[in-house]
Amino acid sequence: MRKIVKKIVVYRCETCRTDYDRRSDALKCERSGVEKRAYRKGDLVRTRAQCPCGQRFAIVGFILKVTGPYAAGPESLLKARGLKPGTGHLYLYQVEACRCPKCKSWVSASYPAAHLEAGA
């Protein structure tokens, strides 16, 4: 038996730290742009939350954390999620936990800016 160490080369997008096999893919990711940060920690926002029980309900809450930027994924996925295509990297905004009106469990989730509105 012989021990073989294989070297692999990957190309990393400096923006989202995703590794790609092909240099052209990493460059494409990197050049695809970053969304302008729409909200900051502590901003009050409103959105629609989805509880694991299936209930959807409107919430108003403060942003706890902004994470990213993440690779936004293929345009088809963006459209399916109701997001504006054209920007390669998005931030996610974590909104404080709110209570599901149906099952009373606490729901906390992160949303893209396109799913948030400035709260009253």
Rule CB under 5 A: say whether 90 interacts with Zn ion. Answer: no
Rule CB under 5 A: say whether 100 interacts with Zn ion. Answer: yes
3-state secondary structure 51-109: CCCCCEEEEEEEEEEEEEEEECCCHHHHHHCCCCCCCCEEEEEEEEEEECCCCCCEEEE
> Of the two residues 80 and 103, which places its CB atom closer to Zn ion in the complex?
103
**Chosen residue from 10, 58, 80, 103 binding Zn ion by CB under 5 A:** 103
Range in contact with Zn ion (rule: CB under 5 A) among 38-46, 71-79, 90-98, 109-117 = 71-79
Rule CB under 5 A: say whether 48 interacts with Zn ion. Answer: no
* Residue 114 CB, nearest approach to Zn ion (Å): 18
Amino acid of residue 54: G
Residue count, binding to Zn ion (CB under 5 A): 11
- DSSP state, 37? P
**Cα 15 to the center of its chain, rounded Å:** 13
- Which residue is associated with the tokens 């160490």? 5
Residues lying near Zn ion in the complex (CB under 5 A) are found at 13, 15-16, 29, 51, 53, 55, 71, 100, 102-103
